[in-house]
Structure 1
Amino acid sequence: MLYIIIPVFNRLPYTRGCLNSLRQQSCRDFRIIVVDDGSTDGTAQALATEFPEVEVVTGNGSLFWTAGVNAGMRRALALGATSVMTMNNDVLALPDFIEQMLACAAQYPTAVLGALELDAATGEPVYGGEQLDWSTNTRHDLLAELPPTERHGLHPVTYLPGRGLLIPLAVIEAIGLFDEKRLPHYLADFDYTSVARRHGFPVFCNYDARLSTYPDESGQTQTRNKRSLRGYLQHLFGIRGGGNLRNFTHFSLKNCPMPFLPYFLLNGYVRRLGGYFLH
């Protein structure tokens, strides 16, 4: 059984939209666990009254993304999950999303699978995975490089985000849960999928499974749109900072091949220190 794990903190309208999109799936062979990390906007009451089929794991507001996902995974495993899927609450699953993901999982039972992401406002594709050249710290955007006629099926990637990320039980048994100690929020998903790939598990972006997302609503985007000294420090050192130097260092030490590590680190530090003001 597939268990979908959704960590939430407030933003009830997004959670409601996400859960309603899962109710409309053509394939209903899954269960949902919402990890409510101390929301104060009525999320708990709404889940109880509007979505009684959803199992709720409650946190005290200190979990952040990684520990929240891990709490949901532990509960799913205790309930007998054969695979889990991490999903952010600010996504909408297109009606055949689960069907397409499970079809690929049946064909590649040890593969970690992500989804093609569409802009919820326009319907245009915005993310389709990356292949990273560790030697130059250069990211190849598959969506930009693939012609429209090839935007279907499975495409191998270096890592995947946690939005609609399907993880087989075999992967969890081999590498454990997400690294909540060193990567409490950002980069935990890229780290986990990169570690899985290095352990021999295929990592694919499934272009036939689609999610609608809100690119402008991410914490990184909002911080960059309101540039300030406080925002800059948050970007580099805050637990939710997209350019957090400590997180990047941990990710690099765990995943970058040793011959490329010095340049990869130096290049990454420069990008994070200066990139906040360039985008």
Structure 2
Amino acid sequence: MIYIIIPVHNRKAYTQQCLASLYRQTYAYFTVVVVDDGSTDGTSAMIQAEFPEVVVLSGTGSLWWAGATNLGIQYALDRMPADADAFVLTLNDDTQVPPDYLTSLVHAWQNHKPCVVGSISVNIHQPDQLLYAGTRLNWFTARFTDLARTTYRNQLSQLKATNQHAIDSDSLPGRGMLIHRSVISTVGLFDAHHFPQYLADLDFSIRARRAGFPLWVSVNSLVYEHTETTGLSMDRARSWRSFWDSLFSVRSPVQLRIRYHFARLHAPNVPLFLMADLGRILGGYLVRRLRR
């Protein structure tokens, strides 16, 4: 049984499309758990009307991604059979998946267990644009190498040409992460206290890897992403004020608080990691400003 956990907040149309894709799956043994964290756009009503089999849990709008995901995971843990393989799949509402998605994830897990399985992702508007295919982490230079870009030049066709079935990775994103119950029993839930919105997925996957669960990206498990829905994009040049605000916003992946906690919890040399990390953030911003 797979419990698919989807946190949502005021993105009814995306949620509807995501759920529709899940109910076209060839794999039948799954339950969808949507955690509606204070939506005001009728998301829960839409789900009740169109997808009555979906379990809807409610939040007040203060859970953020990690808290909402944990609420769904706890619901699943309380109902998982003790004598069978059971999984949690974390997924975002701004995604869609092909009919063989769940089947391919379970197949990848069976081939590499015990492990955690992630998904490759592409731009839903440009399906050959590869967005994710694994990462490499350098703890001394604070560099997160994106294999989709450096190895496959952001081309799905180039990845497929390698005939690989799985790619080992140093971390995994929460968008399409298949987690066996044994992993959660060993490493715990997502760290919603230190990483409410960003980096909770990286932190969890790194903890799982260090606990003895390798991380594999299943090449046959494809997620289509709506890239336009990302919270505060760091890929475009913005005003100094906007950049400054992003350093303190919970909606930003470069918030100083979460970068500090990530370094403190994982980096072998915290000051060195922080200097390199913040230098890369500031340098990247300056380069984007100069290119305008």
For normalisation by structure 2, the TM-score amounts to 0.90
Which is worse superposed, 247-256 or 174-183? 247-256
Gaps of 5+ in 2: 153-157
C-alpha distance 34-151 of structure 1, shift in aligned 2 (>3 A)? farther
C-alpha distance 237-157 of structure 1, shift in aligned 2 (>3 A)? same
Distance of 1:235 and 1:225 partners within structure 2: 13
Matches within 5 A, 1:133-172: 133-143=138-148, 144-146=150-152, 148=159, 149-150=161-162, 152-172=164-184
Deviation, 1:156, is: 0.9
Which is worse superposed, 190-199 or 144-153? 144-153
8 Å contact 1:152–1:208 — kept in the other structure? no
Deviation, 1:226, is: 7.0
Gaps of 5+ in 1: none
C-alpha distance 106-75 of structure 1, shift in aligned 2 (>3 A)? same
Deviation, 1:3, is: 0.2
1:123 aligns with 2:124: no
Q: What secondary structure does 1:219 align onto?
A: coil
Q: Determine the structure 1 residue equivalent to 2:155.
A: none
Q: Determine the structure 1 residue equivalent to 2:278.
A: 269
Q: Determine the structure 2 residue equivalent to 1:245.
A: 256
Matches within 5 A, 1:198-209: 198-209=210-221
Deviations 1:235-258 (A, max 9, x none): 2111111111110111111112x2
Q: Percent identical across equivalent pairs?
A: 37
Distance of 1:272 and 1:216 partners within structure 2: 21
8 Å contact 2:141–2:277 — kept in the other structure? no
Q: Determine the structure 2 residue equivalent to 1:184.
A: 196
Matches within 5 A, 1:44-123: 44-80=44-80, 82-123=86-127
Deviation, 1:229, is: 4.1
Deviation, 1:42, is: 0.6
Matches within 5 A, 1:31-50: 31-50=31-50
Distance of 1:173 and 1:12 partners within structure 2: 33
Distance of 1:239 and 1:97 partners within structure 2: 31
Deviations 1:37-63 (A, max 9, x none): 010001011011111010011000100
1:194 aligns with 2:206: yes
> Which residue identity is paired with 1:253?
R
Q: Determine the structure 2 residue equivalent to 1:24.
A: 24
> Which residue identity is paired with 1:180?
A
Q: Determine the structure 2 residue equivalent to 1:132.
A: 137
Deviation, 1:270, is: 1.5
8 Å contact 1:4–1:31 — kept in the other structure? yes
> Which residue identity is paired with 1:94?
P
Number of equivalent positions: 276
Q: CA-atom RMSD, angstroms?
A: 1.7
